[in-house]
Structure 1
Amino acid sequence: MTETNQAKRRQQHITIVSETFPPEINGVANTLRHLCQGLMQRGHRVTVIRPRQRHENKGTVAGAGLALFSHEHVVAGLPLPGYADLRFGLTRSGHLRSLWQKDRPDAVYVATQGPLGVAAVSAARCLGLAVSSGFHTNFHSYSRYYGVGVLEHLLCAYGRWFHNRTAITLVPTRKMEQTTATMGIKPTGLWSRGVDCGRFSPYKRDDALRSQWGLKAKDRAVLYVGRLAPEKNLRMAVACYERIRGLHPQTRFILVGDGPLRRHLAERHPDYIFCGTRRGEDLARHYASGDLFLFPSKTDTFGNVVLEAMASGLAVVAYDDGAASEHLRHEENGMKAALPRDEDFVDGALRLADQPTLLNRIRAQARLDALEMNWNSQIEQFEQLVLNQPSRVRYHGINKQSMSLL
């Protein structure tokens, strides 16, 4: 590729549509932050379309200080049922068509399947734009944790309808490729995640923080980072920690994050240490000050926290799913358990707590492996999947006018 063609390829207008975006804290928002930053560093112009967040009002300067995008368009937002901290966006497809007719993007990436995502896909198809989607969240699986499991099949059908209206659906793991294929979603493309090993590092371990947690030099901190919500399988994290504490009474359980289960957990376990939401360097310091990391979720499509924990030099215990299925090698850089085998999850954690040599070897290897998981390669993969679609994929099934381009 000549320098002229390379420059042309890198100077495209990409629109990211999402119901969640920084400074909200969740895996989707975190991924989009790195995506937008990476695309801009590679010379692209990035427009973000998202709902107004809880902390904003109409007079707020949207996205102030984030420097994640070239331009932003904010639509109305309402709380997501069961997730009061998150919003879903409300806008008309015609409004987006008008917006894109004035400033036509080269590609549209729709990260969420809510009303805003539906409007964006419809508008893009109408205009013959290259529109891709991302399978970031297992919302159909969440239904069983909120007492509406009967809706799971309906939500699966909705997800299939939504994603099959886009040219390609990006998924983060090979296992998720199989899951979406079973759901009838096609075609898909593998787009994984990276981790910032400068931000997350074992060198940020803080002995003063560990002392605040009531730990001495050789005591262990069992760490959980994430939403305190039913779908995160915190029941298993609690059961696992209690087994560890039964053998090692000086161990402390540190929970970083917030959510609907926090009050319940704090009332039942007043001796647990609840750190609330942490960001930036403060979050990195909390990671690095732990020893053993529990990731009990069986619903996450990926789990960015697994990579952050590895980069921080922690020994991760997880189920063989999501990021763990891609990046953990059992007994080498982490401990994995098959999804149905809860006892294996507990056994893996107990072995780490009982065997300091194994724990330290796994922690060191986890950090070394994380150094290879950079975001640059993932941003390049995103470009290949979203920007370089052949015309037969980019325009398939959009409308009669676009079919003439095949």
Structure 2
Amino acid sequence: MRVSIVTETYPPEINGVALTVHGLAHGLAARGHAVQLVRPRRAADTGGEAGIAALTVRGMALPRYPGLRFGLPAGARLRRSWREARPDAVYVATEGPLGWSALDAADRLGIPACTGFHTRFDDYAAHYGLGFLTPLVLAHLRRFHRRAAATLVPTRALADELAARGIDNVRLLRRAVDAELFHPRRRDGALRAAWGARDDGLVVLYVGRIAPEKNLDLAVRAFRALQARVPDARYVWVGDGPGRDALAAANPDFVFAGARRGEDLARHYASADLFLFPSLSETFGNVTLEAMASGLAVVAYDHGAAREHLADGISGMRVPAGDAAGFIAAAFALGVDAVLRDLLRRNARSAVAALSPEAVIVEFESLLSRLAQERRHDRPVVAARV
């Protein structure tokens, strides 16, 4: 099968969408499919990736996010490329100008296209003082995804929400985690010492974009409440973003490790003890699974990955969405009770260790194959119930 994947973010950019798309592209290539990757070009572009044919297009820097770009419309370029080597299916991962032009090109050429709902841009608007734009953003997202034969989402809750908002072509594509990469055996005493933590000390961790939409003020409040009881606790932040400088200036005792990838990222996870994830703006939250696989006690809202995979009081602490006081209390309880924390850490690992990235790729392959067959047989695409 020949598949074209269109995305406006991709490694070395570090975010959930980029890493998810990278996994899907490489997973299909490993199973023998011809994969074309359409993305904005970068000044530092180097050689290609084995098994993946890159088509780079014009892009522009994303305001307030250094290092990230969005793609400009490339309809004519895509139509030329797809006439020369017609894909059996197109997957559009992002809803920007490049993604919109890709849907238009696929429609003109009669190529089945599906989309991924990865980012809550409707929630982001309010966090950047643009809440008045939320209805317009929602309308854009609805128009965009309804143009596709199917919209892929990682959770049943999100599928139900989108259906209620008029996006009725939803199909479920679950997420997984590489439990061999993210593993407690990567715990590193020397790294902990560099953070100023004792062997038996408490290290709290955050991994992700450091930005307003992540609700990070709550994470800080939870840590400060815990620190009042455990004065030598350390808070380590892995990631970057527009909020980092202000956060660092206001909290000089925090450890900022910058963006990390691969085994280095896994080592940072495994060397911590408690993972606080206060975001409500995620469609999923891959970092929750990575923390659980790494054997961390997790506190998260009842949302996204936590709702799907974290059993409250057994493999972590799941707090009702928006209950800030409950979030702080859960973080405090796990921070001061080493016995409970260690029990939840072991259970967290067990809860996600069997999740298979390979199974996700097989399901993605099957979804794309069905779309291609439906189009070849001129049958209308009927979204599977999820």
Instruction: Flag whether TM exceeds 0.5 (same fold).
Output: yes
1:232-274 residue CA offsets vs partner (Å, 9 max, x unmatched): 1110110010011011101100001111111101111101111
Contact persistence 1:221–1:291 (CA under 8 A): yes
Give the length in aligned residue pairs. 380
SS of corresponding position for 2:171:
strand
Q: Tell me which residue corresponds to 1:41.
A: 30
Q: Tell me which residue corresponds to 2:18.
A: 29
Once the two structures are TM-superposed, the CA of residue 395 in structure 1 deviates from its matched residue by: 6.1
Match of 1:143 among 102, 125, 147: 125
C-alpha separation between the residues in 1 aligned to 2:377 and 2:315? 40
Once the two structures are TM-superposed, the CA of residue 384 in structure 1 deviates from its matched residue by: 2.1
Q: Tell me which residue corresponds to 1:104.
A: 86
C-alpha separation between the residues in 2 aligned to 1:105 and 1:257? 36
Q: Tell me which residue corresponds to 1:261.
A: 243
Q: Tell me which residue corresponds to 1:391.
A: 374
C-alpha separation between the residues in 2 aligned to 1:183 and 1:394? 30
Once the two structures are TM-superposed, the CA of residue 40 in structure 1 deviates from its matched residue by: 1.4
Q: Tell me which residue corresponds to 2:317.
A: 335
Q: Tell me which residue corresponds to 1:6.
A: none
Distance change (3 Å), C-alpha of 1:385 and 1:394: farther
Q: Could you state the TM-score of these two structures normalised by the residue count of structure 1? A: 0.91
Equivalent residues in 2 for 1:225-264 (5 A)? Answer: 225-264=207-246
Equivalent residues in 2 for 1:289-304 (5 A)? Answer: 289-304=271-286
Match of 2:333 among 341, 348, 351: 351
Match of 1:14 among 3, 13, 29: 3
Match of 1:189 among 162, 165, 171: 171
Distance change (3 Å), C-alpha of 1:393 and 1:252: farther
Match of 1:61 among 40, 46, 49: 46
Once the two structures are TM-superposed, the CA of residue 180 in structure 1 deviates from its matched residue by: 1.0
1:269-328 residue CA offsets vs partner (Å, 9 max, x unmatched): 101111111121111111000000011110010111111111110011100111111110
C-alpha separation between the residues in 2 aligned to 1:394 and 1:340? 47
1:129 aligns with 2:114: no
C-alpha separation between the residues in 2 aligned to 1:394 and 1:221? 57
Q: Tell me which residue corresponds to 1:5.
A: none
C-alpha separation between the residues in 1 aligned to 2:61 and 2:230? 42
Q: Tell me which residue corresponds to 2:384.
A: none
Once the two structures are TM-superposed, the CA of residue 52 in structure 1 deviates from its matched residue by: 1.2
Equivalent residues in 2 for 1:265-344 (5 A)? Answer: 265-344=247-326
Distance change (3 Å), C-alpha of 1:394 and 1:180: farther
The alignment's C-alpha RMSD in Å is 1.6
Q: Which moved more, 1:194-203 or 1:103-112?
A: 194-203
1:19-56 residue CA offsets vs partner (Å, 9 max, x unmatched): 00111100001101111121112111111000013x42
SS of corresponding position for 1:387:
helix
Task: For 1:51, give the aligned amino acid.
Answer: P
Q: Could you state the TM-score of these two structures normalised by the residue count of structure 2? A: 0.95
